[in-house]
Amino acid sequence: MTNQLQGEILFAGWAGSADPQATDWAYTPWMPVRGDLGTFAVQVLVISGLTLGWEVQTRTAEDPASIVTLVTPAGITSVGTAYAANSSTKAKQFVRYRFKTGATASLSDYVIFRALPPSWQVNR
């Protein structure tokens, strides 16, 4: 990842459904995988009145419709850096982050964050 997501702002209202193909999430671009296992991180710079939900998805180039959730960490409610690692499920060819902020839209509830590049256990 080449830091495509720097200082992103999301307001409350990105609901996030259980469907991996849903459009009510905010996404990073797909990134190539550099190992089977990785550590993923999100740095929250400002957060006000919401919980930032996030997860990491993976897929292959041959079957882009077959998206699998790699890790689903706890939601973030305070400033700082949150980490998550995939310790059992191996990543496929590509990964991406996806984010949600809750169902009720609000102009006063927002988060400023950035997705940090994954750290890979190089074993491919």
The CATH number assigned to the domain holding 107 equals 2.60.120.260
User: Is 27 among the domain residues?
Assistant: yes
17-64 pLDDT, tens per residue?
877 777 789 999 999 999 889 999 999 999 999 999 999 999 999 988
> Domain residues for 59?
8-121
State the burial class of residue 124 (Cβ atoms within 10 Å of its Cβ: 0-12, 13-18, 19+).
exposed
**Where residue 1 falls among pLDDT bands split at 50, 70, 90?**
very low
Q: Take residue 86 and report the two structure tokens written for it.
A: 């995939």
Instruction: Please tell me the pTM assigned to this model.
Output: 0.87
User: Is 1 among the domain residues?
Assistant: no
Vertex 31 angle, CA 27 and 32, to 5°: 155
pLDDT at residue 114 greater than cutoff 90: yes
Count of domains in the chain? 1
User: Is 3 among the domain residues?
Assistant: no
User: Is 40 among the domain residues?
Assistant: yes
Helix (H, G, I), strand (E, B) or coil at 1: coil
Contact 97, 9 (CB under 8 A): no
58-113 pLDDT, tens per residue?
999 998 889 999 999 999 999 999 999 988 888 999 999 999 998 888 889 999 99
pLDDT at residue 118 greater than cutoff 50: yes
Q: What is the DSSP letter of 52?
A: B
User: Is 2 among the domain residues?
Assistant: no
User: Is 101 among the domain residues?
Assistant: yes
Residues belonging to the chain: 124
Beta pairing, strands 26-27 & 94-100: antiparallel
116 forms beta bridges with: 41
